[in-house]
């Protein structure tokens, strides 16, 4: 007798495999953790195999789980294609999402993937730019949704999570010991004025060693151990990391990830907003280092 696999359970399994945990998967799927765990359990019971290795703190796939993952992706893709072709076409158009480059990972790619699955006829265009520029674009109506990094939300902004800033420098570097303190911030960096004020308040002599509108220029001089920079804890450019200064340097402050939405009565935009909310509120792990891609 033929036996059928449950598509919903397969979708939960793929979400856990992609996100690396039940908590994050639950956020992407808009389900409770217990619901996702129950679906995984039913899937394992139906196949009579163990799909996840739960012996460590992080969830990983067993050999059977890795084998199923390939089949599950194909089954979900076919399921979604059938559903898309045979259902209504009322949701079409384009959405422009603006995100600063330093908070794209780890949540934006899974959000984009989930949104594309729910609204396959809506074209998503992402703009990556500093917060100041995104706020200007949003004010002109050029972005439908933006995420920003700000100390305080602007009008209409919703603070999702508050994260500390830390001093970062080249791995194993010593630039932070120099006086005056060599610092690097691009002209559009939203952290720049606040961090420099904290240095001034602490009567710390500093020297700006980069003059650029681009973040990659800052990353270059910091990774070369020519200057230090302040960044969101856990989000560091390659070849850099937090400075263990033991309180020698003043606290650079904190930042909030803020969400702005053009229209709260648009069902597509509100769905995207809810996906973003859930992703950031479910489990932000700043203690984990996120290496930015080159």
Give residue 4's pLDDT.
Answer: 86
Give residue 87's pLDDT.
Answer: 60
According to DSSP H, which parts of the chain are helical? 7-19, 22-29, 33-47, 63-86, 108-118, 131-139, 192-201, 215-223, 267-282
Residue of higher predicted confidence among 60 and 159 = 159
Residue of higher predicted confidence among 285 and 66 = 66
Cα–chain center distance at 71? 28
Instruction: Look up tokens 């730019």; give the residue.
Output: 129
How far separated are the first and last CA of the chain, in Å rounded? 52
Give residue 287's pLDDT.
Answer: 39
Six-digit token string for 58: 């992080």
In the predicted structure, residue 289 carries a pLDDT above the cut 50: no
Q: How confident is the model at residue 85 (pLDDT cuts 50, 70, 90)?
A: low
Q: How many CB atoms lie within 10 A of CB 253?
A: 15
Residue of 160, 174, 272, 289 lying closest to 231 (CA atoms)? 289
- Round to whole Å and give the CA distance between 273 and 206: 40
Give residue 86's pLDDT.
Answer: 64
Q: How confident is the model at residue 11 (pLDDT cuts 50, 70, 90)?
A: very high
Tell me the per-residue pLDDT of 200-250, one tens digit each, with 9 for 90 and over.
Answer: 999 999 999 987 877 889 999 999 999 999 998 887 888 999 999 999 999
Mean pLDDT, range 266-282, rounded to an integer:
85
Mean pLDDT, range 133-153, rounded to an integer:
94
In the predicted structure, residue 283 carries a pLDDT above the cut 60: no
Mean pLDDT, range 167-179, rounded to an integer:
95
Q: What distances in angstroms separate CA 91 from CA 83, 149, 177, 196, 209, one per listed residue? A: 14, 30, 56, 46, 49
According to DSSP H, which parts of 131-240 are helical? 131-139, 192-201, 215-223
Phi and psi torsions of 150, nearest 5°: -140, 155
- Round to whole Å and give the CA distance between 196 and 211: 15
Residue of higher predicted confidence among 266 and 1 = 266
Q: What is the dihedral of CA 242, 258, 285, 8, to 10 degrees?
A: -150
Angle between helices 22-29 and 33-47 (to 10 degrees): 110
Asked if residue 262 lies in contact with residue 141, where contact means CB atoms within 8 angstroms, the answer is yes
Instruction: Look up tokens 């330093």; give the residue.
Output: 102
Residue of higher predicted confidence among 254 and 117 = 254
- Round to whole Å and give the CA distance between 152 and 156: 11
In the predicted structure, residue 286 carries a pLDDT above the cut 50: no
Give residue 293's pLDDT.
Answer: 33
Mean pLDDT, range 3-19, rounded to an integer:
90
- Mean predicted lDDT score pLDDT of the chain: 87
In the predicted structure, residue 284 carries a pLDDT above the cut 80: no
Mean pLDDT, range 157-180, rounded to an integer:
94
Percent of the chain's residues with pLDDT above 70? 91
Tell me the per-residue pLDDT of 113-132, one tens digit each, with 9 for 90 and over.
Answer: 888 888 888 899 999 998 99
- Round to whole Å and give the CA distance between 12 and 214: 39
Give residue 272's pLDDT.
Answer: 92
Asked if residue 131 lies in contact with residue 193, where contact means CB atoms within 8 angstroms, the answer is no
Beta bridge partners of 148: 258
């Amino acid at each position: 007798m033929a036996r059928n696999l449950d598509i919903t359970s397969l979708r939960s399994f793929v979400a856990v495999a992609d996100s690396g945990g039940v908590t994050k998967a639950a956020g992407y799927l808009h389900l409770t953790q217990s619901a996702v765990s129950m679906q995984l359990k039913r899937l394992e019971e139906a196949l009579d195999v163990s799909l996840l290795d739960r012996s460590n703190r992080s969830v990983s796939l067993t050999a059977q789980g890795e084998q199923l993952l390939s089949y599950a992706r194909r089954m979900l893709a076919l399921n979604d294609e059938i559903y898309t072709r045979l259902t209504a076409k009322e949701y079409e158009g384009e959405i422009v999402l603006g995100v600063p480059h330093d908070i794209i990972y780890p949540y934006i790619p899974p959000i984009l993937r989930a949104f594309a699955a729910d609204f396959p006829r809506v074209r998503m265009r992402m703009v990556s730019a500093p917060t100041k520029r995104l706020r200007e674009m949003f004010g002109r109506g050029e972005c439908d949704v933006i995420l920003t990094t700000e100390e305080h939300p602007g009008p209409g902004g919703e603070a999702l999570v508050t994260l500390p800033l830390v001093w970062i420098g080249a791995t194993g570097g010593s630039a932070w010991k120099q006086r005056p303190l060599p610092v690097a911030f691009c002209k559009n960096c939203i952290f720049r004025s606040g961090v420099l004020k904290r240095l001034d308040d602490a009567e710390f002599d500093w020297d700006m060693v980069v003059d650029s509108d681009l973040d990659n220029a800052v990353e270059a001089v910091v990774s070369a151990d020519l200057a230090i920079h302040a960044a969101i804890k856990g989000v560091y450019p390659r070849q850099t990391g937090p400075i263990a200064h033991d309180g020698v340097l003043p606290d650079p402050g904190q930042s909030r990830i803020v969400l702005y939405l053009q229209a709260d009565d648009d069902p597509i935009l509100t769905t995207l907003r809810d996906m973003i909310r859930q992703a950031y509120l479910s489990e932000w792990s700043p203690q984990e280092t996120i290496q930015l891609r080159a």
